[in-house]
Chain A
């Protein structure tokens, strides 16, 4: 069955430190991977998707099919990065629904 695993419920770092939010997936086909973010009192929003290969707000994520991972990274965390981060998998094509991980709460301390 398709599954997304985010092993850390909470990740706490100091401002300026590097951050890596881990995501592993289970799917034998060609997945589409996403990172969604939810800031306090705001709605869930797309941060980035692997096919666009963009860097958004300093975050990047590389799809590693060998390790079935899609870790989210940022070299220097900012306080405004504090939020819930969800990794999500789409089977693609007409199967548009997303399979989400349980999320990681990132706390960036001053």
Chain B
């Protein structure tokens, strides 16, 4: 079946611009996670949704980052006033519930120039 998909696969933006990154989880998965992976590092947790609500947003670095999942399926990660330090691969994962295996998407590579 279809796995987790993320769009776009690559995004280049200028410093100060607003970007949206989209994640389509596996159908029926109630848990959805966003991670950020900088060069040479492991994935770093950003936010976790259980259904429509953010169960844990403790990993969001500051208030420029925001994520939504209005219908409990697709999620959008929003970054305002992008900075060069935001350049990274943004990974999305979903799981049946929080206790189950997380399936990762291919990631969106964000480059802020």
Quick check: is A95 within 8 A (CB to CB) of the other chain?
yes
Quick check: is B91 within 8 A (CB to CB) of the other chain?
yes
How far is the CB of B89 from the nearest CB of chain A, in Å?
10
Give how many A residues have a beta carbon under 8 Å from the other chain's beta carbons. Answer: 22
For A43, what are the chain B residues with a Cβ–Cβ distance below 8 Å? Answer: 3-4, 104-107
Q: Is the CB of B56 within 8 A of A97?
A: yes
Binds B, one of A60-68, A70-78, A100-108: A100-108
For A98, what are the chain B residues with a Cβ–Cβ distance below 8 Å? Answer: 33, 35, 43, 45, 102
Quick check: is A44 within 8 A (CB to CB) of the other chain?
yes
Quick check: is B99 within 8 A (CB to CB) of the other chain?
yes
Quick check: is A25 within 8 A (CB to CB) of the other chain?
no
Q: Is the CB of A44 within 8 A of B48?
A: no
Quick check: is B85 within 8 A (CB to CB) of the other chain?
no
Q: Is the CB of B98 within 8 A of A94?
A: yes
Knowing A44-B43, A86-B42 touch, does A97 contact B104 (C-beta < 8 A)? no
Q: Which 3 A-B pairs have the closest CB atoms?
A: A96-B98, A100-B42, A44-B104
Q: Residues of A with Cβ closer than 8 Å to B?
A: 4, 6, 9, 43-46, 49, 86, 88, 92-103
18 CB contacts below 8 A, A to B, read: A6-B42, A43-B104, A44-B91, A45-B104, A46-B102, A49-B101, A86-B43, A88-B42, A92-B99, A93-B99, A94-B98, A95-B98, A96-B56, A97-B45, A98-B33, A98-B35, A100-B44, A102-B41
